[in-house]
Amino acid sequence: MKDKKMSIRISEDDLNIVHYKAEQAKLTLTEYVTQRILGKQIFVIDGLDEVIRQQKAIGKNINRLTVLSNMGKISSVNLERLTEEYAELNCTLTEMLDRKRWSA
């Protein structure tokens, strides 16, 4: 429970930077400052939203195939292309994380 208030003095330029970094991390100012003060690393990975969107699309396709199979409308499916796309996404994600890890 957040029931304590903390006040600090900070220059306007520094405050603008902190606000910008919190916004980039998609965190509130309180969340951002608290995590940084406690020594937690915050990673912002450009392009991650697109990878997640693609993974969700693959998941939806798998769900559709499962429903069709359970309805008895299909009995077998060639998942080779789906497996390849998923593997490519995982490679992309790994590369993104590695680049961020070594640049931080």
For 43-77, what is each residue's pLDDT tens digit?
Answer: 777 788 888 888 898 889 889 988 998 999 988 88
d(C-alpha 103, C-alpha 98), whole Å: 8
Q: Does residue 74 share a domain with residue 37?
A: no
Residue 36 CA to chain centroid, in angstroms?
19
d(C-alpha 28, C-alpha 18), whole Å: 10
pLDDT at 79: 84
Domain that holds residue 23: 1-42
Which tokens go with 42? Answer: 């915050």
Q: Does residue 52 share a domain with residue 99?
A: yes
Work out how many domains the chain is built from and give that number.
2
Q: What is the pLDDT of residues 37-50, one digit of tens each?
A: 999 888 777 788 88
